[in-house]
Amino acid sequence: MNIDCHNFGRWLRVAAAAAALLASSALWAQEEDPVAALSKPESSLSLGIGYAGSDAPRFGLYNGIDEEDAYLLGEIDYVRRLDESGTWFRLDGRNLGLDSRQLRFEHERQSDWGYAIDYNQIIRNEPYTVNTTLTGIGGTTQTIFGAPLREVDLETERDILTVEAKKYLPGNFDFRVTFRNEEKDGDRIFGQGDFGGPPNAFFLLTEPLDSTTQQIDAVLGFTGKRLQLSAGYYGSFFDQHKDRIDVINGTANTPVSLPPGNHAHQGYLTGGYSFTPTTRGTFKLAYSSATQDDTFIVPSANGRTNADAGVDTFSFKLGLTARPLPKLSVRSNLRYEDRDDRTPVDTYITGVGANATYDGTNVPHSRKTLRGNLEASYRLPRGYRITGGVDLDNQERTFPDVRSVVYREDTDEITYRVELQRALSETLNGRISYSYSERDGSSFLPNFTNGGSLASNQINPLNLADRDRNKVRLMLDWAPMEALSLQLAGYYTDDEYDGTNPHGPDNGDSHHLSLDAAYAITDKWQATAWYSREKTEFESTTCQAGGIPSTCNVGSVRKSSLDNTTDAVGFGLSGALFDDIEVGVDVSQSFDRGEFGQQIESGGTPITQLPNVHYRHTRVNFHATYPIGENAGIRLDYIYDRWRTNDWQWSGGGFTYADFTTVSQDENQILNFIGLRGYYKFR
């Protein structure tokens, strides 16, 4: 909830009074049994006010504090247990004064029954400023040049209501049901364009979000000593309330469709059985049927009023773990999924020419996936353990006869891995692992035109290309002394892509390194520090102007080198001043860099390089808690948050949409937020 700045003084006085009231209530607190004080459920209530000193779209992306304003800070965590019956009441309210509030009520008689009602609000404030001529935002008719350029705020909001209930039944059975209803509203950046039309014919639209998503999960469970089962039904339903945008003064591509509603029902049975204390099998069987039959937004040339689309999916998972020898354990899993897109194939686009890379029919995608692994682990002396395993991944896809992207019916990936681990040491634990994966599959299916001629076949698609992957992973946990612990974690991955076509992804590698330290300076003061670095590098090749069937003109082969690097560091200190004032400070900074190299091979025209992109984010969180009496006190929070960037995504080269709409962001956002609240704890 935003508070008008003009009333800030009044709100401050109200908050101060509330804080003082909560804090002074400690004076009324009664002495109680110290054991009860430590072992009985505790409730808390806090109320106060915060003030953001400036607009901060990045900081307020999801928390509701995105504008310079005062905000009400309110939280409640009421917990009560009736010891005689084991009945719990809990009311948990968070961010009550913000647009990101959540309120949950639970009532339960432990081991008998229970229910809960949860309201959760999730917002997303668009961090970019949109300056546009578009009118009709939020509606299904949107007019470009509908108004002079002016700033509009875009945001989306999800209001989620969840109801849960459970009942324990005789014979080790239990029944649980969860129903979740989500209303999604708001507007987000959308658009339409036509490169075949006048130059720069790109227009910003906004996608009007107005939908209801419902999910119900009902599970009957059985928990026996050896056998556990869960039989359930999962229903998921998406209903779209705005299914189109009619665009006035835009391109000819109007109306623009919005996602249609769809429904799915799934029944499943999952369970586990312990054959012996060290041998257990698990399984899951599931069958789901999904449909999409929303009425088309315009008439179809084939006379259909809807796609009558549907997907049936059958899946199972089998697992077995065993310890055939005291020092040897084995584990295996097998997963299978058969996704059958049973949508009728029909001709939607007529008069398709012979050179087209489509035939006018819709293309359902069915797929069968088989994944499995087998792993053995053996305990060695002195706390060491060695593990070896093999993973398999096979996917079988259907494919259209006429296509514009190279297909592969099957991909097969096999991974071999080995790991050495040392555990059960009081000072040094860790693991190092190496894996090698090899992905290949059936022959690449060349593209043919509608007339049967060979079309362009130059790319090995990212998800289908042959790939060899080497990966090393390391983790060390070292406690050189009682007060100090150190942790080192990292990995290095190297990918090499290949295929029968000349272009596409070439290679990639990524590495990550983290070093963490925690030090107990005294009994009351602790310090933490960490550093992380992550870098991914990816190289691919394409053609400036591709030829047919698989040639690229000399001087047109282009290699892209795409790098992303993150360096992040953090420091924390917490403790107590004067014995009773708890203080803590956390400082973190992350620095992300994106590089977009493009190079023409074989002496073509040099390419103007895109600028690197960077984001630098600094956050300081400070808090101090001053107790007044045993159960109450005052808490002060201070946040410094700074985002700096030069991201050109929406404005590179001075880009504007055809109606001069701009999308921009403040490239240096600094926020100072201060919050003061009183709290009261009670039992």
Partner 1 sequence: MTAFLRARFEWVLAAALILVPALGAPVWAQPKDVVLNGDAACMVCHQYLEAQYPILAIGKTKHGTRADKRTPTCTSCHGESDTHINIPQGVSERPKPERMFGKGSMTPAPERDEACLSCHKGGKQIHWLGSTHAARDISCTSCHQIHTGRDKVRDKRTQPEVCLGCHKDKRTQIMRPSRHPILEGKVACSDCHNPHGSAGPTMMVRDSVNDTCYQCHMEKRGPFVHNHQPVTEDCGICHNPHGTINYAMLKLRSPFLCQQCHEPTGHRGTVASFATNSVPANTVARGCLNCHTNIHGSNNPIDAGNARTFRR
Q: What one-letter code names the amino acid at 426?
A: E
Among 6, 30, 35, 382, binds partner 1 (CB under 8 A): 35
Contact 188, 126 (CB under 8 A): yes
Count residues contacting partner 1 (CB under 8 A)? 190
Among 5, 17, 27, 39, binds partner 1 (CB under 8 A): 39
Q: For the chain, first and last CA: distance in Å? A: 29
Query: Residues 49 to 68: which contact partner 1 by CB under 8 A?
Result: 58, 61-63
Which span sits near partner 1 by CB under 8 A: 12-20, 134-142, 312-320, 628-636?
312-320
319-339 as b/e: b if 16+ CB within 10 A? bbbbbeeeeebbbbbbbebbb
Write the interaction track for partner 1 spanning residues 195-214; mark x where CB under 8 A is met and - where it is not: x---xxxx-xx-----x-x-
- Least separation in angstroms between residue 604's CB and partner 1 is 10
β-partners of residue 494 are 470, 509
Among 54, 120, 131, 140, binds partner 1 (CB under 8 A): 120
Contact 279, 322 (CB under 8 A): yes
- Least separation in angstroms between residue 16's CB and partner 1 is 26
- In SS3 terms, 584-606 reads as EEEEEEEEEEEEEEEEECCCCCC
Using rule CB under 8 A, residue 370 touches partner 1: no
Among 129, 135, 215, 526, binds partner 1 (CB under 8 A): 215
Residue 509: Cβ within 10 Å count: 17
| CA 288 from centre of chain | 24
Q: How far apart are CA 665 and CA 513, in angstroms?
A: 31
Cα angle 101, 125, 130 (rounded to 5 degrees) comes to: 160
Strands (E), 293-406: 309-325, 328-341, 367-379, 384-397
Using rule CB under 8 A, residue 519 touches partner 1: no
Give the contacts of 627 (CB within 8 A, at least 6 positions apart).
26, 580, 581, 633
Query: Of 24 and 551, which CB lies nearer to partner 1 in the complex structure?
Result: 551
Contact 359, 450 (CB under 8 A): yes
Residue 566, helix vs strand vs coil? strand
Among 90, 242, 265, 317, binds partner 1 (CB under 8 A): 317
Using rule CB under 8 A, residue 300 touches partner 1: yes
Using rule CB under 8 A, residue 461 touches partner 1: yes
Residue 483: Cβ within 10 Å count: 14
Write down the residue that tokens 């990966």 correspond to.
471
Q: How far apart are CA 136 and CA 134, in angstroms?
A: 7
How many residues are given for the chain?
Answer: 683
Which span sits near partner 1 by CB under 8 A: 8-16, 22-30, 189-197, 573-581?
189-197
Q: How many CA atoms lie within 13 A of 98 on its CB side?
A: 30
Region of 383 please: left (phi>0), alpha (psi -120 to 50) or beta.
Answer: left
Query: Of 22 and 123, which CB lies nearer to partner 1 in the complex structure?
Result: 123
Which span sits near partner 1 by CB under 8 A: 143-151, 259-267, 620-628, 674-682?
259-267
- Least separation in angstroms between residue 204's CB and partner 1 is 8
Using rule CB under 8 A, residue 643 touches partner 1: yes
Query: Of 631 and 645, which CB lies nearer to partner 1 in the complex structure?
Result: 645
Which span sits near partner 1 by CB under 8 A: 14-22, 235-243, 434-442, 573-581?
235-243
Which span sits near partner 1 by CB under 8 A: 14-22, 133-141, 142-150, 647-655?
647-655
Q: How far apart are CA 129 and CA 123, in angstroms?
A: 17
- Least separation in angstroms between residue 10's CB and partner 1 is 28
Write the interaction track for partner 1 spanning residues 136-175; mark x where CB under 8 A is met and - where it is not: --------------------------------------x-
Which span sits near partner 1 by CB under 8 A: 22-30, 301-309, 578-586, 674-682?
301-309
Q: Which two tokens stand for residue 122?
A: 């999730």
Using rule CB under 8 A, residue 271 touches partner 1: yes
- Least separation in angstroms between residue 525's CB and partner 1 is 17
Query: Of 4 and 601, which CB lies nearer to partner 1 in the complex structure?
Result: 601
Query: Of 25 and 665, which CB lies nearer to partner 1 in the complex structure?
Result: 665
Q: How far apart are CA 265 and CA 233, in angstroms?
A: 7
Contact 188, 206 (CB under 8 A): yes
Rounded to whole angstroms, what are the CA distances from 444 to 193, 461, 484, 498, 681?
32, 10, 55, 11, 66
Using rule CB under 8 A, residue 334 touches partner 1: no
Which span sits near partner 1 by CB under 8 A: 141-149, 526-534, 632-640, 674-682?
526-534
- Least separation in angstroms between residue 157's CB and partner 1 is 12
Among 28, 38, 522, 579, binds partner 1 (CB under 8 A): 38
Using rule CB under 8 A, residue 358 touches partner 1: yes
Query: Residues 65 to 104: which contact partner 1 by CB under 8 A?
Result: 79, 81-86, 88, 94, 100
- Least separation in angstroms between residue 6's CB and partner 1 is 28
Which span sits near partner 1 by CB under 8 A: 14-22, 131-139, 434-442, 539-547?
539-547
Write down the residue that tokens 């804090």 correspond to.
23
Residues 294, 298, 303, 307: what is their CA dihedral angle, to the nearest 10 degrees?
Answer: -30
- Least separation in angstroms between residue 441's CB and partner 1 is 14
Query: Of 70 and 247, which CB lies nearer to partner 1 in the complex structure?
Result: 247
Residue 209, helix vs strand vs coil? strand
Among 132, 133, 343, 631, binds partner 1 (CB under 8 A): 343
Using rule CB under 8 A, residue 289 touches partner 1: no
Using rule CB under 8 A, residue 290 touches partner 1: yes
Using rule CB under 8 A, residue 443 touches partner 1: no
Residue 647, helix vs strand vs coil? coil
Query: Residues 551 to 610: which contact partner 1 by CB under 8 A?
Result: 552, 556, 558, 560, 562, 564, 566, 568, 588, 590, 592, 594, 596, 598, 607-608, 610
Give the contacts of 307 (CB within 8 A, at least 6 positions apart).
260, 292, 293, 296, 343, 344, 362
Q: How far apart are CA 680 and CA 23, in angstroms?
A: 6
Among 23, 256, 628, 634, binds partner 1 (CB under 8 A): 256
Query: Residues 407 to 426: which contact partner 1 by CB under 8 A?
Result: 421, 423-424, 426
| CA 567 from centre of chain | 21
Q: How far apart are CA 619 and CA 673, in angstroms?
A: 11
